[in-house]
Amino acid sequence: MFLCHTIQLLNCLVKLKFNTVKILISESQYKNILKEYYEPDKLYHRETLVKRLLVKNQKGYFVAPKEIRAVVERLPYIDCYDQDGNKQTCTKIPEVLYVYLSGRY
């Protein structure tokens, strides 16, 4: 059995190429995996995303990397309505933003 660390993952995958590995997970772990799945058609409140991703720290520097800021600036404007029927501006986010927001960037 091979123990795969992040750096050695590619080497382990090559070694495990012909082996079949089954992993048993609990129902709660399965639900967590489903929650973490990226949904490309989900709408997000655009103003909240922009404020969160284009924020500056105390020294005046942007918190998000330049590549992420470039993606945020190109987000589409989509008209939508909230639960109370008020008109809002929403957007769909690419997977790279989803990964960044979930802390896996």
pTM of the model: 0.60
Cβ count near 4 (within 10 Å) = 13
Separation CA 9–CA 104 (nearest Å): 17
Domain ranges of the chain: 44-101
Burial 37-64 (b: 16+ CB within 10 A, else e): eeeeeeebebeebbeebeeeeeeeeeeb
62-103, pLDDT tens digit by residue?
Answer: 888 999 999 999 999 999 998 899 999 999 999 889 888 888
Q: Are 90 and 82 in contact (CB under 8 A)?
A: no
In which band, very low, low, confident or very high, does the pLDDT at 19 lie, cut at 50, 70 and 90?
Answer: low
Q: What is the pLDDT of residues 43-59, one digit of tens each?
A: 999 999 999 889 888 89
For 28-46, give the secondary structure using H, E and C. HHHHHHHHCCCCCCCCEEH
